[in-house]
Structure 1
């Protein structure tokens, strides 16, 4: 039986410049500084913002997510990462966080992933991942509200 990848994506337009937004969210080991579900981030291996770096995210409920950085580009304002181990209902998970210019000096933030549902239906797995993205992007909206 073929395994099909699911595609999750959320976007938000912020009233800030791309550089301001990237400065806030472009640090691979800094997710805890802006995502409300993440209480801590610890670099386990490699150098921060260098491919191969690994972080351990601790969530508010004590659960942890172990991730590896696959690509990081300040010039393109993006990073890609994969999950090594997590309680999420997903496997073969790879994600992209990107910051791009939008109209009127604003900024478009896109957070997307491809993964296979694991331990949940496709719809349930998508809802979990997209919920995580929505919570983070809603927090960014508040941080950049003017």
Structure 2
């Protein structure tokens, strides 16, 4: 399994960051690469909540919350990977107070590729740089959303 993570200290209180992150069905409010979200479960957050995230290229993935720690973070498993060349993928979002009303957020991705060793090389060479852009955009978008700033958010390529 390949692991990748990005972190950022946000100029926002943990309660404000958690209020946005725990609004699970509305990740498209701050994640620049997600154009739309469909709820796939009756519950809107917490353990077992499911959503489908749509991307500008027409692809989509379905995600389910597999762990939920109130005020601290959650893990999602991608239960439908769409057209991605992956066998499985998980994402963890964790937050911690960082003094003076700031919050340290860590977003980790774990994935296993299809196609054996060639897929692993593709994951290292192509997917990790793509994930860096996605996670950096998500973290910046999260900070902008929580603080009300409207700085340009890098779009995934």
TM bucket normalised to smaller: 0.7 to 0.9
Q: How many residues align?
A: 141
Moved more, 98-107 or 11-20: 98-107
Which of the pair is proportionally richer in strand? 1
Secondary structure at 2:143's aligned position in 1? helix
| Alignment partner of 1:125 out of 99, 106, 127 | 127
Q: Output the aligned Cα RMSD.
A: 2.0
Question: After TM superposition, where is structure 1 displaced by more than 4 Å over at least 4 residues in a row?
Answer: none
Q: Provide the rounded CA distance (Å) in 2 between the counterparts of 1:96 and 1:106.
A: 20
TM-score, L = length of structure 2: 0.79
Gaps of 5+ in 1: none
**TM-score, normalised via structure 1 length:** 0.85
2:153 is aligned to none
1:30-59 superposed Cα distances (whole Å, 9 cap, x missing partner) = 111111111111111352223222211111
What SS does structure 2 have at the residue aligned with 1:142?
A: helix
Q: Distance in 2 between matches of 1:115 and 1:29?
A: 22
How far did 1:18 drift?
0.4
